[in-house]
Amino acid sequence: MPRGQKSKLRARERRHQAQVEPQNPGLQRATNTESIQRGHIDEKVVIMVYYLLYKYNLKEPIRKAEMLREVIQMYRSHYLEILQRAAEHMEMIFGLDLKEVDPYRHIYILVNKMEVSCDARLINRIEIPKTGLLMAILGVIFMQGNCASEERVWQTLNVMGLFNGRKHFIFGEPKKLITKDLVQQKYLEYRQVANSDPPCYEFLWGLRAHAETTKMKVLEFMAKIHNMVPTAFPSLYEEALRDEEERAQARASAKARTAALAKARSSAIASSSSHSKRV
């Protein structure tokens, strides 16, 4: 639409509002009051996000009574809305799920979407604020056929407010984060496309990404971002199911090998003990 027409429409809308407002002073006051209250609720959501992060860092359970007293205060009637919106932010931005572990006393904990193994805890673990970003990148890679061009990844990051060369207040320098930090930590693989001139690059899942999350969990995360369900992506859902089956078979095989080794060790010990007694 031409700029002049847009200006005329805005001016016409302002004139219309000016004509309506004097005729409905009560309605206008109610609208202003509702707008102010909505602003206070939005602020409570932000405070709740910081409170949840604080509790997570302290490794303390999150209790409803404490949230009401320390965060919600006079907005108790909006408790569920505030908590739900804060939980959505925790999941989408930080990759943390809010789980209720005691429905009677309303006690919650935050669970990292990345299943960090015992061995991984001993080395450089990914920082929590970056987990949500990593899940989004893993999702793009999965949805692009398990290999995404750097250009495609940056398109997603731009939508999230991250730009190459522009420092982010949470994630720092995005280029360094995705091409160096997460690569060094084995969450991402960053490689040059074969025979590309000028050189182009692409991303794949790293070894630790395969070990600490699954295609199904990443698909669920991406589906939630798009307000959809995983089955809305049939081919990806089928691939994620196959991945789950393969992982289950691998776990069963590993368990069987461990049991066989334990049995063999037990038999060897028993045989050695019996031989010693005969001697």
Here the CATH number for the domain that contains residue 67 is: 1.10.10.1200
- Pair 38, 76 in one domain: yes
On whether residue 201 sits in a domain, the answer given is yes
**∠ Cα 181 186 187 (to 5°):** 80
Question: How many other CB atoms are found less than 10 A from the CB of residue 128?
Answer: 17
Reading the chain (279 residues) residue by residue, the pLDDT tens digits are: 444 544 544 555 555 455 544 455 555 555 556 666 677 888 888 889 889 988 988 889 999 999 999 999 898 999 999 999 999 888 888 888 999 999 999 999 998 887 654 334 434 455 556 888 899 999 999 999 999 999 999 998 888 888 999 988 778 899 999 999 999 999 999 999 999 989 999 999 999 999 999 999 999 999 888 888 999 999 999 999 999 999 999 888 888 888 778 777 777 676 666 655 565
On whether residue 49 sits in a domain, the answer given is yes
Q: Give the model's pLDDT for residue 115.
A: 65
Q: Give the model's pLDDT for residue 152.
A: 95
- Pair 53, 128 in one domain: no
On whether residue 277 sits in a domain, the answer given is no
On whether residue 5 sits in a domain, the answer given is no
- Pair 126, 207 in one domain: yes
User: Which residues on neighbouring strands pair with residue 203, listed in sequence order?
Assistant: 148, 190
- Pair 147, 186 in one domain: yes
Q: Give the model's pLDDT for residue 122.
A: 35
- Pair 201, 141 in one domain: yes
Q: Give the model's pLDDT for residue 120.
A: 42
Residues in Cβ contact with 248 at an 8 Å cutoff, skipping those fewer than 6 apart = none
Q: Give the model's pLDDT for residue 37.
A: 66
Contact assessment for residue 188 and residue 142, using Cβ atoms and an 8 Å cutoff? no
| Domains of the chain: total | 2
Q: Give the model's pLDDT for residue 117.
A: 45
- Pair 40, 126 in one domain: no
Which residue range is the domain that position 53 belongs to? 28-112
On whether residue 83 sits in a domain, the answer given is yes
- Pair 142, 166 in one domain: yes
